[in-house]
Structure 1
């Protein structure tokens, strides 16, 4: 018979750490779910609580219209740009000067220029066509005069956005390449008084064998939702004051 003593006591069983963590997490989740359900039940049994009153009661419209002597006067047309350009845009074009004739301009129809007729004057006609559509072009009014070999073409390009963004973007895109000698006038031009970003340019004369010299001047500006563009062509030199005066007068009508 063995005389050895009893076996040492076995260590207590321990749950694996991962299993213990899962049990605690499950209990916590059940507690949250139960608390949430109880909260919804209590809230559903309560009577509705009205929302607090607005802190800006002055925003409400009056129950009755203002008396006639208290109604503010509408803005005069000289200050209301929507009134100035919301009607017949052709009426804002400069009148044909005395001694000049209306030139034969195929892009004009009763003082209006179609989208295609306006886009065709640009080197990349297809791009400009799509660009003007994306910019929400509304309409283009135009006038063309001639006297001798000199021609003047005016375009008022209006956008529908109700803001100045379309007209500003179009004017800036035209001004952006004017200092390029191939695409534009090849110089920085001159600012138009009171026109913000507006400028006018004189192009270098173009001489080709067998043809008369070709001179050009251009003005680009923006006022409200209208972009203004003026071009002068001649076989003789164009004075700086000629294009500047036309630009300032047309801008004044806008």
Structure 2
């Protein structure tokens, strides 16, 4: 883990902001008149809000937190109290229900298998090598998609990350879709909202304010400028970033042809509807 840097006064200095990017594979020289090569575009940065207390944590403690953050929650015993259940039917109009109807309690959806809330892979789509086989991505693995993995790891733990569900697929020869559901613990930190706001801030610096996602408080979609490099196919990318409750959502669509606003909007609205 990276050691904390200090100023002359002895106050820990903020760590450099990690970038949300999976390291690109080494560039391969292109022979004369070949078929163009497709490449993956890098991700944008995540500012590291590192507090002195977090930077001072020793390696063993940080690893322990990482292991604990990736464990499945232990079921609690039933409450020793009667008549504490969800009503069979919603309360009549104008009446305040004694308890929230199960169908309206979004918390129930995210307390089970988070992977079931991921959009399913469409018919005919193919697997991609960077997607986890069981659709669980460890916090360490997710942190490795940042340019400063140790800084990202500390940031996520400090904000109460709980678990990450992830899926990805390929359509045709080059188009890939990747979705990450990053769930945070319920505490005094608004982990999901903060993580989403951080990512949107960097997208807006590079791609403008994007388009709002219907049904989301402040979710946005972004169409990135085309990425050109001699000897490679052009790379187009669209992204969606939003949160609902304790889950922050990232969607990335990458292709060698322009990604439409309609496509990224549809993916975002469908994923939002499952949370």
TM-score, normalised relative to structure 1 = 0.67
Greater relative contact order (Cα < 8 A, sep 6+)? 2
The offset of 1:103, in angstroms, is 1.7
Distance (Å, rounded) in 2 between the aligned partners of 1:155 and 1:123: 17
Distance (Å, rounded) in 2 between the aligned partners of 1:128 and 1:67: 41
Structure 2's unaligned 5+ residue stretches are 1-80, 89-96
The answer to whether the aligner puts 1:81 opposite 2:106 as a matched pair is yes
Distance (Å, rounded) in 2 between the aligned partners of 1:125 and 1:167: 19
1:126 to 135, 150, 153: 150
Change (3 A) 1:236 1:83: same
Tell me what 1:202 maps to. Answer: 223
1:147 to 167, 171, 189: 171
For residue 153 of structure 2, give the secondary structure of its aligned residue in structure 1: helix
Q: Which has the larger radius of gyration?
A: 1
The offset of 1:147, in angstroms, is 1.1
Tell me what 2:198 maps to. Answer: 173
Change (3 A) 1:193 1:163: farther
The offset of 1:162, in angstroms, is 5.2
- Count residues in correspondence: 185
Q: Is residue 160–residue 189 contact of structure 2 (8 Å, CA) maintained in 1?
A: no
Change (3 A) 1:133 1:73: same
Q: Is residue 164–residue 225 contact of structure 1 (8 Å, CA) maintained in 2?
A: no
Q: Is residue 140–residue 157 contact of structure 1 (8 Å, CA) maintained in 2?
A: yes
Q: Where in structure 1 do 4 or more consecutive aligned residues deviate above 6 Å?
A: 70-73
The offset of 1:76, in angstroms, is 3.8
Change (3 A) 1:205 1:79: same
Change (3 A) 1:239 1:151: same
More helix by share: 1
The offset of 1:104, in angstroms, is 1.7
Per-residue CA deviation, residues 90-118 of structure 1 (Å, 9 max, x unaligned), is 00011111121222225x24110111221
Distance (Å, rounded) in 1 between the aligned partners of 2:178 and 2:238: 11
Q: Is residue 150–residue 235 contact of structure 1 (8 Å, CA) maintained in 2?
A: yes
Per-residue CA deviation, residues 230-253 of structure 1 (Å, 9 max, x unaligned), is 001111110011100000000000
Q: Is residue 162–residue 225 contact of structure 1 (8 Å, CA) maintained in 2?
A: no
Q: Is residue 90–residue 142 contact of structure 1 (8 Å, CA) maintained in 2?
A: yes
Per-residue CA deviation, residues 157-189 of structure 1 (Å, 9 max, x unaligned), is 0011257811111111111111223xxxx2111
Distance (Å, rounded) in 1 between the aligned partners of 2:201 and 2:136: 26
The answer to whether the aligner puts 1:245 opposite 2:266 as a matched pair is yes
Q: Is residue 168–residue 222 contact of structure 1 (8 Å, CA) maintained in 2?
A: yes
Per-residue CA deviation, residues 198-217 of structure 1 (Å, 9 max, x unaligned), is 00000000110111111111
Distance (Å, rounded) in 2 between the aligned partners of 1:67 and 1:77: 12
The answer to whether the aligner puts 1:116 opposite 2:137 as a matched pair is no
Tell me what 1:16 maps to. Answer: none
TM-score, normalised relative to structure 2 = 0.62
